[in-house]
Structure 1
Amino acid sequence: MTTLEKANLWLSDHFDSETKTAVQNLIESNSPDLEDSFYKELEFGTGGMRGIMGVGTNRLNKYTLGQATQGLANYLLQQFPNQDIKVAIAYDVRHNSKEFGKLCADVLTANGIHVLLFKNHRPTPELSFTVRDKKCQAGIVLTASHNPPEYNGYKVYWDDGAQIVPPNDDAIIKEVYATKFENIKFEGNDDLISWIGEEQDEVYIDACIENSLYQKDKKGYDNLNIVFTSIHGTTYATVPQALEKAGFKKIDLVTEQMIPSGNFPTVDSPNPEEPAALEMAMDLARITNGDIVIGTDPDGDRLGIAVRNLEGEMQLLNGNQCNTILTYYILDQWKKAGKITGKEFIGSTIVTSDIFFDVAEKFGVDCKVGLTGFKWIGKMIRDFEGKEIFVCGGEESFGFMTGDFVRDKDSCGSILVACEIAALCKANGSTMYEYMIDIYKELGLYYEGLINVVKKGRTGAEEIQQMMKDFRENPPKSIAGSLVEDIKDFKEQTCYVVSKDKKTVMDDIPKSNVLIYYTQDGTKICVRPSGTEPKIKFYVSVKGEVNNKEEYEAKISNLQSKIEQVKQDLNL
């Protein structure tokens, strides 16, 4: 079926007048957006979907959201027959999020399903927490994380508070694609909606405090200068309140960015991975003599942390550095409390730094590794519940979780423990940055870089497919002066040892279109198409040693140069 034929289907009486007018305008104007809006269906993947808002099969709108929710409703009714099914729904600050939330609620209630709907935008981790706290069978959150303002998204959670994983994800996807637009039930029943307000914030915040803090005497809490920004996102409603309730006294907010807005007016991108997103917070820290700067993404699951480096200047830590600090500290506290028995584990992902294996070994716990995304860490928790104890988990993309009370990455709990570490360091005459260097002195110096290659539209998607094909069929023989020794192909589920010309099966992790190269000197390169953005990602990790803080910056500079060499060798 041609793009035009697909578009003409949206002019039928199954679609409302506003939608038909918009589609007609695309056709008559011969807009280039027509092709991208209809050339494919917006993919409902294993974690939901994310895309540009607008009319068409490849856009997020009333009908693609309705189709997804009707498919979910059909599956819930199959899985929980003769039960009072409850689904919690939250949404972030993005354009149309509140309306989309009500739309999803209407479809569910039209199918006889009880909905717990947040009155206002709230962070994704609060939704994850609420699913378990309110004993729901599922949850939905409307968010596109840190994508540009024209995007929105839809994620589904199961009754354990984690994002859907096998077998539920595949089964839900089948129901979604089996649902025709004309079969969506849009006429909701408001009598089946229960509204969630600020009272739930208090329950969530109390859980964050209980599960994320370790110092009963709150050493240094009252002397730590914190600068926080929600970057126009949802955490304006939770993080400042949590910090204050935990006992931190000096909290300065970037007031201009505490105003929720789907336009994200003060930043080019609301992404705490990028220094530019924290520029206003950094400026405020210079005025207030801040010790730590923290920013969160729009739906409040990820965080960026900046602390003072050896020169006394604010420096943004990368996701692996943050997670290394948090994980080491938490395990150290567990060890001091005598809580490590050999049945504990931490969670990580295949694209995250391998230092987490070293941290786990030091403290006598297991490090379990899954595919990219916290849904797989959530699955680890469920798979080993009652057999092993989950301590904490993180991935390189600025996500971390403390304990299992939230089953997704959670900026609020992570911020609390980060501030406790910073407060203790300051009280002891040190800094969080020096604490990090001490960890690297003990375990080895790891440094990571992320290279994003953006390829937009249909041709971009085809180019990404070709790049993966080329890397798979013609792998590099050496990278940055070191021979490639291991090639892990998660699509084929094989590990090839080059020097032994030996290939083994690697089926402990589900199939995924990901390649990892390991060189003889420990360099690691992971190649992976993004599941949510039009880009292919190259995660590079290099290793070295550091003996004292005086040589740290020089050592990092050498590793940065090595990452640049990797980039050149791969023609990126």
Structure 2
Amino acid sequence: MISTEILAKITTWKSDVFDAETKQQLHDLEAQGEKELLEAFYKDLEFGTGGMRGIMGVGTNRINKYTLGKSTQGLCDYLHSSFPNQSISVAIAFDCRHNSDTLAQVVANVFSANDIKVYLFESLRPTPELSFAVRKLQCQAGIVLTASHNPPEYNGYKVYWNDGGQLVPPQDKELIAVIDALHYQDIRFKPKPEHITKIGAEIDQEFIKSTIQNATILQKAGARDDLKIVFTSLHGTSITVVPETLKQAGYSQVHIVEEQKTPDGNFPTVVSPNPEEPEALTLALALAEKVGADIVIGTDPDCDRLGVAVRNNEGKMELLNGNQLMILLTALLLEKWQSEKRLNGKQFVGSTIVSTPMMHALAESYEVRCMVGLTGFKWIAKMIKDHPELEFIGGGEESFGYMVGDNVRDKDAVASTLLACELAAYAKASGSSVYNELQNLYLDLGYFHETLISLTKKGIDGLAEIQAMMAGFRNDPPRSVAGQEVIMIEDYQTSKSFDFTVNREEELDLPKSDVLIFYLADGSKIAMRPSGTEPKIKFYVSVTESVETLEELQAAKVECKEHVAAIVADLKLN
């Protein structure tokens, strides 16, 4: 049964404030039945860890010209209040998804109607290039139209501030309050074309130049020419800059997966355009075997995440997980900084509360500070902004994202792709391999094994189920898991941690978030949270073993995998 409140929302969308096309879409939706109508209107889209993201269509819980128009109008009002008596400008980019280009134009029109100068990319571009452009063009804000790796029916809207990072508290809450106070009739859709400027190739070249300066480490001549790379853009935006970046950096043996080269919002060759999913790299791995490649790299549609595969000691391609890639890239950067005698106690690397604890061990081995924030690269960007006295080396999170330096203030698969190739070329030229480098890190720091369990729960019922699961673990937490005592619980929703070994409660010094973490007596860690961008609840399991030899490492891999399986079974996450 649809409530009176939701019926009032639906009636509003039938008014003359909305255009004929929208009203026809609403009529068609009503004909599909009450369930579909309710899904479209039962809530308003909200800003999550990656901005506002949802299914395209008519309704308050959908991505359309009115929900984006209202958010943009609110942002215009917020910008004018934040930068009074100043000339304000924004940069706008968009990805390969259906309607991204037209929605980007709608957003540009609203900005221009509010006397804000707009730099609009002439065609699709990677998300990290938008972050770069905000700072390069000295804009007060930026927008990118993307739903990252979500299914084809999704689109989204990420908001960036003048530091090139996504919005964080208190700005995000302040903006939401402004948006919520608006009515749809307040949106100024009529453009002022004189305020809109198209940008493209000139920013591309500056971005590529900056990336190469930031993410190259090799000194040995010929090492890049000797590396065989397979690259796939998975039908996304990375095709516009990654091949050219690799070429200008000196990589001559780049094999592109032709079947996935053309941008296409249907993502026809994959089940999901997500490099976290092994299936997404099937064609790339097949090409790697054909050409004898050393490394395979695939990026998601907006080119902020990357998946990497390298050859193991048996010569077979093996996929790295996001934690492993983060450790390898960070270790490479730390070694570079150390060799250049640039480490002086005023540097840091960044990670998140759900990522591998191995980052702490790695940073400690170089006597570098490791800062940890909530999930999402906006928190790493905030670290950079909040600590101008420190230099940021690099950082990432388990979800296949990495940031090299601070020229881009978001996860950046362009720079990370180049840095991964630098690692592979350096290792090969040194008679080693990426796989061997990872094994050496385990021998030095201990073996860390992480597993992500993602449970999809769609719609209203799914949301209620996710909330019930979180409430269950929060209100009645287990005292032991897989035979190991729970010795500490961190609850980021209440900002409290409790250490059972000393019966002490402490405050958590991070913003509130719906995240719960259990620490076990053997050093294992279990984190859980609802996804901020997808209808999922995620469980992050990390276990560790000390190892000194390759034989111990192989045994530890088996033991840790079995331990994770026992944890998953005990928590009934299968």
TM-score band, normalised by the shorter chain?
A: over 0.9
SS at match of 1:122: coil
Q: 1:441 aligns with which of 437, 440, 443?
A: 443
Map of 2:112 onto structure 1: 109
Q: 2:475 aligns with which of 457, 461, 473?
A: 473
Map of 2:422 onto structure 1: 420
CA distance in 2, matches of 1:493, 1:74: 32
After the TM superposition, which of the residue ranges 306-315 and 434-443 deviates more from structure 2?
306-315
Map of 2:366 onto structure 1: 363
Q: Are the aligned partners of 2:49 and 2:533 in contact in 1 as well (CA < 8 Å)? A: no
Deviation of residue 550 (structure 1)?
Answer: 4.7
CA distance in 2, matches of 1:31, 1:556: 51
Map of 1:75 onto structure 2: 78
Deviation of residue 478 (structure 1)?
Answer: 1.1
Q: Are the aligned partners of 1:523 and 1:542 in contact in 2 as well (CA < 8 Å)? A: yes
SS at match of 2:309: strand
Q: Are the aligned partners of 2:50 and 2:532 in contact in 1 as well (CA < 8 Å)? A: no
Map of 1:231 onto structure 2: 234
SS at match of 1:510: coil
- The one-letter code matched in structure 2 to 1:405 is N
Q: Are the aligned partners of 1:219 and 1:423 in contact in 2 as well (CA < 8 Å)? A: no
Deviation of residue 549 (structure 1)?
Answer: 3.4
Map of 1:399 onto structure 2: 401
CA distance in 1, matches of 2:57, 2:89: 29
Q: Which digits, 9 at most, give the CA deviation of each residue in 1:169-225, with x for residues without a partner?
A: 111111111111011000011110111112211110110000111223345111111
Equivalences for 1:281-300 in 2 at 5 Å?
Answer: 281-300=284-303
CA distance in 2, matches of 1:511, 1:236: 38
Map of 2:88 onto structure 1: 85
SS at match of 2:17: coil
CA distance in 2, matches of 1:456, 1:489: 25
- The one-letter code matched in structure 2 to 1:517 is F
Deviation of residue 551 (structure 1)?
Answer: 4.9
Q: Are the aligned partners of 1:480 and 1:566 in contact in 2 as well (CA < 8 Å)? A: yes
CA distance in 1, matches of 2:33, 2:337: 63
Say whether 1:494 aligns with 2:496: yes
Map of 1:525 onto structure 2: 526
Q: Are the aligned partners of 2:49 and 2:375 in contact in 1 as well (CA < 8 Å)? A: no
User: Do the aligned partners of residues 46 and 300 (structure 1) sit closer, same or farther apart at CA in structure 2, a change above 3 Å counting?
Assistant: closer
CA distance in 1, matches of 2:481, 2:222: 47
CA distance in 1, matches of 2:431, 2:552: 20
Q: TM-score, normalization: structure 1?
A: 0.98
CA distance in 1, matches of 2:566, 2:412: 35
Map of 1:347 onto structure 2: 350
Q: Are the aligned partners of 1:45 and 1:173 in contact in 2 as well (CA < 8 Å)? A: no
Deviation of residue 517 (structure 1)?
Answer: 0.5
Deviation of residue 317 (structure 1)?
Answer: 0.3
Q: Which digits, 9 at most, give the CA deviation of each residue in 1:315-369, with x for residues without a partner?
A: 1100000000000111011011100000100011000101111111111110001
Q: Are the aligned partners of 2:346 and 2:390 in contact in 1 as well (CA < 8 Å)? A: yes
CA distance in 2, matches of 1:512, 1:289: 45
Map of 1:152 onto structure 2: 155
SS at match of 1:66: helix
Deviation of residue 79 (structure 1)?
Answer: 1.1
SS at match of 2:541: strand
Q: Are the aligned partners of 2:443 and 2:553 in contact in 1 as well (CA < 8 Å)? A: no
Deviation of residue 8 (structure 1)?
Answer: 2.1
Q: Are the aligned partners of 1:460 and 1:534 in contact in 2 as well (CA < 8 Å)? A: yes
After the TM superposition, which of the residue ranges 436-445 and 8-17 deviates more from structure 2?
8-17
Q: 2:123 aligns with which of 112, 120, 124?
A: 120
Map of 1:187 onto structure 2: 190
SS at match of 1:217: coil
After the TM superposition, which of the residue ranges 425-434 and 318-327 deviates more from structure 2?
425-434
CA distance in 1, matches of 2:553, 2:501: 33
Deviation of residue 167 (structure 1)?
Answer: 1.9
Say whether 1:254 aligns with 2:250: no
CA distance in 2, matches of 1:181, 1:526: 39
Q: Are the aligned partners of 2:29 and 2:36 in contact in 1 as well (CA < 8 Å)? A: yes
Q: Are the aligned partners of 1:219 and 1:424 in contact in 2 as well (CA < 8 Å)? A: no
- The one-letter code matched in structure 2 to 1:155 is K
Equivalences for 1:370-389 in 2 at 5 Å?
Answer: 370-385=373-388, 387-389=389-391
Q: Are the aligned partners of 1:46 and 1:164 in contact in 2 as well (CA < 8 Å)? A: no
- The one-letter code matched in structure 2 to 1:474 is D
Q: Are the aligned partners of 1:38 and 1:56 in contact in 2 as well (CA < 8 Å)? A: yes
CA distance in 1, matches of 2:291, 2:557: 29
Q: 1:7 aligns with which of 6, 10, 32?
A: 10
Q: Are the aligned partners of 1:66 and 1:107 in contact in 2 as well (CA < 8 Å)? A: yes
SS at match of 2:225: helix
Say whether 1:511 aligns with 2:507: no
Gaps of 5+ in 2: none
CA distance in 1, matches of 2:50, 2:110: 20
- The one-letter code matched in structure 2 to 1:468 is M
- The one-letter code matched in structure 1 to 2:565 is E
Deviation of residue 135 (structure 1)?
Answer: 0.4
Deviation of residue 47 (structure 1)?
Answer: 4.8
Map of 2:308 onto structure 1: 305
Map of 2:330 onto structure 1: 327
CA distance in 1, matches of 2:36, 2:96: 25
CA distance in 1, matches of 2:554, 2:107: 51
Deviation of residue 5 (structure 1)?
Answer: 3.4
- The one-letter code matched in structure 2 to 1:169 is D
User: Do the aligned partners of residues 272 and 47 (structure 1) sit closer, same or farther apart at CA in structure 2, a change above 3 Å counting?
Assistant: closer
Q: TM-score, normalization: structure 2?
A: 0.98
SS at match of 1:222: coil
Map of 2:549 onto structure 1: 548
- The one-letter code matched in structure 2 to 1:502 is R
- The one-letter code matched in structure 1 to 2:350 is G
- The one-letter code matched in structure 1 to 2:479 is K
Q: Are the aligned partners of 1:487 and 1:515 in contact in 2 as well (CA < 8 Å)? A: yes
CA distance in 1, matches of 2:483, 2:355: 23
CA distance in 2, matches of 1:313, 1:28: 53
Q: Are the aligned partners of 2:126 and 2:304 in contact in 1 as well (CA < 8 Å)? A: yes
User: Do the aligned partners of residues 290 and 181 (structure 1) sit closer, same or farther apart at CA in structure 2, a change above 3 Å counting?
Assistant: same
Q: Which digits, 9 at most, give the CA deviation of each residue in 1:94-128, with x for residues without a partner?
A: 00000010000000000000000000000000000
Q: Which digits, 9 at most, give the CA deviation of each residue in 1:2-22, with x for residues without a partner?
A: 433322221110101111111
Q: Are the aligned partners of 2:48 and 2:533 in contact in 1 as well (CA < 8 Å)? A: no
After the TM superposition, which of the residue ranges 60-69 and 31-40 deviates more from structure 2?
31-40
Map of 1:143 onto structure 2: 146
Deviation of residue 555 (structure 1)?
Answer: 2.4
Say whether 1:564 aligns with 2:565: yes
User: Do the aligned partners of residues 96 and 563 (structure 1) sit closer, same or farther apart at CA in structure 2, a change above 3 Å counting?
Assistant: same
- The one-letter code matched in structure 2 to 1:541 is S
Say whether 1:163 aligns with 2:156: no
Percentage identity across aligned positions? 52
Q: Are the aligned partners of 1:236 and 1:258 in contact in 2 as well (CA < 8 Å)? A: yes
Q: Are the aligned partners of 1:73 and 1:111 in contact in 2 as well (CA < 8 Å)? A: yes
- The one-letter code matched in structure 2 to 1:537 is K
Deviation of residue 28 (structure 1)?
Answer: 3.4
